[in-house]
Amino acid sequence: MTTTTTTPRSFEADVAKLLHMMVHSVYSDKDVFLRELISNAADACEKLRYEGLSNASLLGDDGQPRITVTLDAEARRLTIEDNGIGMSEDELGEALGTIARSGTKAFMDRIAGAKDAEGSQLIGQFGVGFYSAFMVADQVEVTSRRAGADTAALWLSDGQGTYTIEPVDIAEAPARGTRVLLHLKEDATGYTDAFTIERTIKAQSGHVPVPIFLEDAPDAEPKQIADGAALWTKPKAEISPEDYTDFYRSVAGQFDAPALTLHYRAEGMHEYTVLAFIPETKPFDLFDPDRAGRMKLYVRRVFITDEAEILPRYLRFVRGLVDSSDLPLNVSREMIQDSPVLAAIQKSVSNRVLSELDKLAANDTERYLTLWDTFGAVLKEGLYEDYSRRDALLGLARFKTTTSNGAWRSLKDYAADLKDNQTAVYYALGPDLDRLASSPQLEGFRARGIEVLLLSDHVDSFWAAAGMDFDGKPFKSVTQGLADLSLIALPEGTEPTPAASETVNDFIAFVKTTLGDAVSDVRVSERLTESAVCLVAPENGMDRQLEKLLAGAGRLETTAKPVLEINPRHPLIEKLGAEGADPALREDAAHLLFDEARIADGELPVDPRAFSARLTRVLGRGLG
């Protein structure tokens, strides 16, 4: 015994500043103190297990490791006790008197190279996690008795810059191991609530390799809240579908069942285990503005963070975890985001999720289409966010089309049905499928049997305009620029439409003059076969649906003037172009045709009152 009196000692560091940093800066979540103290306790049990391999007497009659958390609401105290290796008085000074000296790291250095070290599951690497206890406690007592020793010691500090160590009677110490007693601050009394503590432990440390028990009051009957067996570490053959479902519901906070489960262990340059689930139903937070993911990061079964962005944001519907054997339990969860090891894990896990979806699409079409129906709109965000995986995402994408009769079609299916001389993948954008299917801009494509993708999700306006292609064919909007359909033959037996008469061409020129700056051009349409008019975007302009979205969001100050296309073979246009047509009627008709095209596009007339007056005049002429 090296100390016989209680003497204040100074920490070996600029402690006042360092502890303040630890308490107020390093950790962003106070709950982390539980994770850190339970991690230390789990390490102590692992050290005892290792040393017990060569000295079985250290285990005595108590060979089963355990961690016990005891609550005392009346005294405002929380205790975490383990039956691990414990510490001598000198070891207490070394471990807790020098901040950032990690006993675990020293232990690992000592056993490095030993053949039995391969199985040890040691967590802490930096030696600062213990001091997070001062976030919630104004005094911390650590009583410890090393395995096999007949002495015990007490470490005591208020976290203000000094600590004391003194021997204690072994009757007041654990039979073996360490007891950490926190005298909680007034604003931390919530940590004596059994429900809060149980929920926090299960979320953060429920899968450490040591069973955890909870006593909701001193001398109460212990309740086991963690069995020390992590589901994801078990062989897949030993896990039932019900086990996966129960775990999914606990980790995802949902009540449905997983539609797809992904469980594997990666070995090689980096070692980690993945247990991920795709839900059956949309999570309630799927479209939160921050679009944050919900994959948890563990290091050797210890929860680190659920904000590591393990998967890209367009895979945020995936729930589950990654447990790394290579990452350290760092001083800050925030710093882990910059780890090159995590970057490699992120890349590999993202690719694996997409690969599993591709396998499902090939092997179980019905299940895959159910998933796509639920999460396709989110997956398509990756088409403009993730260039490196764009080809894989295009392969996964499914679409409703003008020829699919409501069924989903892949781009591979689309490419197989391309018409001779078709040089593009055609698509139409709109707010809903029904309106899209009846768009006048589709008439010429239908007449030639050309399949058009019907894109009704908001995200479609962005990725479709990103200049990508599939199988060498660029994506082209049917409402943008010239239709360029003349190279694609009409079905056999269909009579080609005659050219517009000279008088109709004169009327089209008249409409252009009458509308003036309201449009950028008025021209003969190749698109229209049934309707009289439609609006399209200029050749180099933005697709009209995207333009509407951006303008509605306040991200466009001005919008481009549309092009008005006129069907020269429509009976109404032929009559308006006939010789002797009433000039006043033609002028009203020019404006009404433009407003008709706007209404078909889901817009209001340029001037509703003028539209009403013109319509009244035209109806009056008809009745007269």
Q: Give the SS3 label for residue 332.
A: coil
Ramachandran class of 161: left when φ > 0, alpha when ψ lies in -120 to 50, beta otherwise: left
In what order do the strands lie in the sheet containing 223-226?
7-10, 162-168, 152-157, 137-145, 177-184, 77-82, 67-72, 212-215, 223-226
Q: Which neighbouring-strand residues pair with 427?
A: 453, 477
The DSSP secondary structure of 226-263, one letter per residue, reads E-S--GGGS-GGG--HHHHHHHHHHHH--SS-EEEEEE
In this structure, is residue 374 part of a structural domain?
A: no
My answer on whether 237 and 221 are in the same domain is no
Rounded distance between C-alpha atoms, residue 472 and residue 603, angstroms: 35
pLDDT tens track for 547-560: 888 887 777 778 88
To which residue do tokens 């433009």 refer?
A: 594
| Phi–psi pair at 391, nearest 5 degrees | -65, -40
CB within 8 A of 275, min separation 6: which ones? 231, 232, 247, 261, 262, 263, 320, 321, 323
Instruction: Please identify which residue in the block is written with the tokens 């509308």.
Output: 515
Provide the pairing of β-strand 162-168 with 152-157. Answer: antiparallel
Q: Would 373 be classed as within a structural domain?
A: no
Q: Tell me the CATH number at 86.
A: 3.30.565.10
Read off the tokens for 89: 């008085």
Q: What is the domain-level CATH number for residue 331? A: 3.30.230.80
**Residues 322 and 414 grouped into a single domain:** no
What's 436's domain CATH number?
3.40.50.11260
With a cut of 70, list the residues of the chain below it in pLDDT: 1-5, 7, 10-28, 98-128, 329-335, 337, 493, 495-497, 624
In this structure, are 343 and 420 located in the same domain?
no
Query: Which pLDDT belongs to residue 137?
Result: 94
Number of domains composing the chain = 4
Co-location of 241 and 351 in the same domain: yes
The H or E element spanning position 8 is strand 7-10
- Asked if 47 and 194 sit in the same domain, the reply is yes
What pLDDT is stored for residue 614 in this prediction?
A: 94
| Boundary (domain end) residue, out of 226, 249, 268 | 226
Tell me, what's the pLDDT at 595? 96
Task: Kindly give the residue spans of alpha helices, DSSP state H, lying in 364-416.
Answer: 365-379, 382-385, 390-396, 411-416
- Residues 6 or more apart whose CB falls under 8 angstroms from that of 334 comprise 28
Question: Is 1 within a domain?
Answer: no
Specify whether 124 is located in the same domain as 32.
Answer: yes
Helices (H), 170-239: 194-205
Is 338 within a domain? yes
DSSP H or E stretch at residue 614: helix 608-623
pLDDT of 329: 63
* End-of-domain residue from the set 183, 207, 226: 226
* Strand extents, DSSP E, 548-596: 563-566
Distances (CA, A) of 185 to 139, 191, 335: 9, 10, 28
Residue list for the binding site: 36, 40, 82, 87, 102-103, 125-130, 178, 333
CA distance 569 to 532: 8
C-alpha distance across the termini of the chain, in Å: 118
Residue 262 pairs with which residues in a beta bridge?
276
Cα 477 to the center of its chain, rounded Å: 30
b/e for 92-130, b at 16 or more Cβ within 10 A? Answer: bbebbbebebbbbbebbeebeeeeeeeebbbbbbbbbbb
Q: Is there a single domain that holds both residue 206 and residue 270?
A: no
Model pTM? 0.76
Query: At 397, which amino acid appears?
Result: A
Contact between 118 and 325 (Cβ < 8 Å): no
Assigned domain for 295 exists: yes
Domain boundary among 173, 197, 226: 226
pLDDT of residue 385: 94
**Helix 103-111 vs helix 32-54: angle between axes, to the nearest 10 degrees?**
30
Question: Is 484 within a domain?
Answer: no
Residues 135 and 190 in one domain: yes
* Pair 149, 203 in one domain: yes
- Asked whether residue 614 is assigned to any structural domain, the reply reads yes
Examine the domain organization and report whether 523 and 395 are in the same domain: no
Provide the annotated binding site for ATP: 36, 40, 82, 87, 102-103, 125-130, 178, 333
Count CB-CB contacts under 10 A for residue 417. Answer: 13
Give the up-direction half-sphere exposure of residue 54: CA atoms within 13 A in the CB hemisphere. 8
Domain housing 434? 385-477
- Do 45 and 182 share a domain, yes or no? yes
Helix (H) / strand (E) element for 599: namely helix 583-600
Contacts of 247 (CB under 8 A, 6+ apart): 231, 275
Residue closest to 543 by CA, chosen among 403, 421, 396, 441: 441
Under the phi-then-psi rule, with left for phi > 0, alpha for psi from -120 to 50, and beta for the rest, what region is 487? Answer: alpha
3-state secondary structure of 563: strand
What SS3 class is residue 142?
A: strand
What are the φ/ψ torsions at residue 385 (nearest 5 degrees)? -95, -30
Instruction: Give the number of other CB atoms < 10 A from CB of residue 540.
Output: 8
**Residue 577 per-residue DSSP state:** T
Torsion of CA 406, 411, 413, 417, to 10 degrees: 100
478/425 Cα distance (integer angstroms): 10
Q: Give me the pLDDT at residue 117, please.
A: 46
What pLDDT sits at residue 123? Answer: 46
HSE-up of residue 106 (Cα within 13 Å, Cβ side): 9
Q: Is residue 118 part of a domain?
A: yes
pLDDT at 136: 92
Q: Return the sign of the alpha-carbon dihedral for residues 476, 491, 528, 581.
A: positive
Angle, CA 579 vertex, CA 578 and CA 582 arms, to 5°: 85
Rounded (5°) CA angle 593-597-603: 125
What pLDDT is attached to residue 543?
Answer: 82
CA 123 to chain centre: 27
Do residue 22 and residue 133 come from a single domain?
yes
